[in-house]
Amino acid sequence: MDRFAVVERALRAAAPHALMDVATQALREHYDAVDAELRLADYGMRSLQLVESVPLTTEPLPIHDSPQGRALRAPEPVVLTDRATGAVTVHLPVSARGDRLGVLSVVLPGGTDAAGLLPELAGLCEALGHEITVADRDTDLYQRARRATRLTVAAEMQWHLLPGHSFRRHEFALGAHLEPAYSTSGDNFDWSVSAEHLTVTVTNGMGEGVEAALLTNLAVGAMRNARRAGLGLADQAALTDQAVYAHYRGCAYVSTVLLRFELATGEVEIVEAGSPRAWLCRDAKVDNLVFDAQLPLGMFEDTHYVTEHFRVQPGDRLLLATDGVYEPLSRAAEPFGDHALARSLTANRLLPPSQVPSAVFRDLAVHRGEGPLQDDALVLCVDWYGPEGRDGAV
Which mean pLDDT values do the consecutive 10-residue runs of the chain (394 residues) have? Answer: 88 96 95 96 96 77 95 95 94 96 97 93 96 96 95 96 95 96 94 97 94 97 98 97 97 96 98 90 93 94 96 97 91 88 94 96 90 87 92 47
Cα distance between residue 78 and residue 224, in whole Å: 39
| Whole-number pLDDT of residue 293 | 86
| Whole-number pLDDT of residue 56 | 55
Which residues, including other chains, have CB under 8 Å from residue 17's CB and lie 6 or more apart?
Answer: 53, 135, 139, 141
Strand segments (E) across the chain: 35-41, 47-50, 61-62, 78-81, 88-96, 99-108, 166-168, 172-179, 187-193, 197-205, 254-262, 267-273, 277-282, 285-289, 308-311, 317-321, 377-384
pTM of the model: 0.93
